[in-house]
């Protein structure tokens, strides 16, 4: 966590918002510490709020302190970072409150654990749903091919690279195993 504070200081940046794409421990583990050190608010979709307030650190190698979200990431909401405008897309499946953040002007999609290069996030953990994930993947097929996808884990990709299997999921109405 200290490296975040150091990087912010080195760049003369002020962190105002910690955006949680979902409430699993590996994405929220330092929320409380970073918020305490920077004064930044924490944002999460309301369906994952309980995961931040009462974390259940399944498989976590350390204790996860609770954090208190101050900002609700609602479908269609907009988050601004300087000139970057992120539109919240509710993309459940990995958890009930999973979100992706679409920066159309910049050609970016921050997909959290919904969309990865070559696949989707796990649906067998608490809050997961194969049906909801299939619907979220189908929804993401509506986005433009050139969009760069920055997932919560792994390599960056594009909608174009993922489109073939995503269209199969959309057509089948279910995840393909």
pTM: 0.95
CATH code, residues 74-177:
3.60.15.10
- 60-105 pLDDT, tens digit per residue, is 888 999 999 999 999 999 999 889 999 999 999 999 999 999 999 9
Domain limits, the chain? 1-73, 74-177
Pairing of strands 157-158, 148-151: antiparallel
Q: Are 71 and 41 in contact (CB under 8 A)?
A: yes
**What does DSSP assign to residue 5?**
H
In DSSP notation, 20-44 reads -SS--HHHHTTHHHHHHHH--EEEE
């Amino acid at each position: 966590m200290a490296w975040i504070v150091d990087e912010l200081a080195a760049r003369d940046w002020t962190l105002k918002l910690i955006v949680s794409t979902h409430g699993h421990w590996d994405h929220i583990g330092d929320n409380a510490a970073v918020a305490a050190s920077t004064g930044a608010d924490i944002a999460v979709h309301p369906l994952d709020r309980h995961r931040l307030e009462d974390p259940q650190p399944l498989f976590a190698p350390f204790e996860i302190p609770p954090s208190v979200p101050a900002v609700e990431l609602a479908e269609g909401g907009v988050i601004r970072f300087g000139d970057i405008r992120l539109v919240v897309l509710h993309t459940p499946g990995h958890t009930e409150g999973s979100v992706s953040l679409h920066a159309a002007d910049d050609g970016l999609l921050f997909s959290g654990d919904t969309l990865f290069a070559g696949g989707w996030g796990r649906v067998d953990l608490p809050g997961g749903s194969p049906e909801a994930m299939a619907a979220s993947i189908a929804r993401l097929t509506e986005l433009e091919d050139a969009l760069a996808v920055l997932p919560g884990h792994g390599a960056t990709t594009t909608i174009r690279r993922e489109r073939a299997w995503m269209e199969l999921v959309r057509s089948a109405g279910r995840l393909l195993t």
